[in-house]
Amino acid sequence: MARTKVSVIQMTSVPDVATNLGACERLVRDAAEDGSRLVVVPECFAFLGPEEGKLGIAEPLPAGGPILARCAGWARELGIELILGGFWETGSDAGHVRNACVQVRADGSIGSIYRKIHLFDVDLPDGTKLLESGTVEPGSEVVTAETPAGTLGLSVCYDVRFPELYRKLVDRGAVALAIPAAFTLTTGKDHWHVLLRARAIESQSYVLAAAQTGHHFGQRRSYGHALICDPWGTVLAECGEGEGVASAWIDPDVALRIRQSLPSLHHRRL
C-alpha cells in the first residue's frame, strides 16, 4: 500500500447531536483540506451525555439513519474514508445499544463494523463511576478494515488495555490500529500515552488514536491528546488543548521493515 496521509480528530462532544455533528464536520473538512485520505473520529462523537440519551439516537447498522447518512455524505463529498469511533448502534432490546467502530468508504458505502468487546465498568478514586455494561452490549468479533493506508485493526477506547486483542489484529494483517476514545481525565493523564505507545511498539504498527477532550456534562471530562504513533513508538502528531486535528503520513512499508529488523512478532512462544 502507498504512503498515505491520515488524521485523527479531537473534539468535545455534548448531549446535543446537532452541535456534535456540526463540530465533527468542521474538523473532518479541515483534515480533508489538509490532504488526509483516512480520518478517524473519536468515541461518542455524535452524543456524549446521560445514558438514556444514547438509547434514543442509536441507529441500526449497516442501514443507519440520519447520523450515518450525514457522515457518509461527508465521505462522498470529500473523497475520504472515515472511521467512526463509538457509533451508537441499535441493540437487541430497547434498553441496550452497541458501541460500534464503523468504516465508511470514500463512496459513502459501509465497510467493516466492529463492536466494542471490552466495556468500561469502573469506580475511580476521583468519584467517577461508569457502568458501560448497563446500557451497552459487548461485541465478540475481531475486525479489520482494508483502507488506503493498508489493513487497519479496529478497536474502541477501553480495548487499549487488552493487548491480546491487538495481537489478533496483527495476525489478521493489520499494519495500523484505530483506537478512537473518550478516555477519562483521571486515567488519561497517567495511562493514555503509555498504553498507546506500548500497543504500537509491541504490535509494530501505527496507532491512530482520536480522542474526546474537555468537559462534556455533569462531572464527565476527557483527557484529549489525540495522537498518531509510528510502529517504533514515536509520536508523529498530537493535538494540544481544545478541539483540533492531528495529521501524519503513514507508510505500511515502514511497519514491515521494522518487523523484519526486529522480528519480535515471530519470536512469540506463547
The DSSP element (H or E) to which 144 belongs, if any, is: strand 144-147
116 included as an active-site residue: yes
Q: Tell me which residue of 8, 3, 4 sits closest to 235, measured CA to CA.
A: 8
Q: Read off the C-alpha cell for 249.
A: 503520513
Catalytic position from the list 24, 43, 54, 101? 43
Q: Specify whether the CB–CB gap between 221 and 215 falls below 8 A.
A: yes
Phi, psi of 206 (to 5 degrees): -65, 150
Which residues partner with 147 through β-bridges? 150
Q: Read off the C-alpha cell for 166.
A: 491487538
Cα–Cα distance measured from residue 62 to residue 109, given in angstroms and rounded to the nearest whole number: 9
Q: 79: buried, middle or exposed (CB in 10 Å: 19+, 13-18, 0-12)? A: exposed
Q: Specify whether the CB–CB gap between 21 and 70 falls below 8 A.
A: yes
Cα–Cα distance measured from residue 57 to residue 174, given in angstroms and rounded to the nearest whole number: 31
Catalytic position from the list 116, 137, 229, 238? 116
Catalytic position from the list 157, 229, 239, 243? 157
Cα–Cα distance measured from residue 159 to residue 185, given in angstroms and rounded to the nearest whole number: 17
Residues involved in catalysis = 43, 116, 157
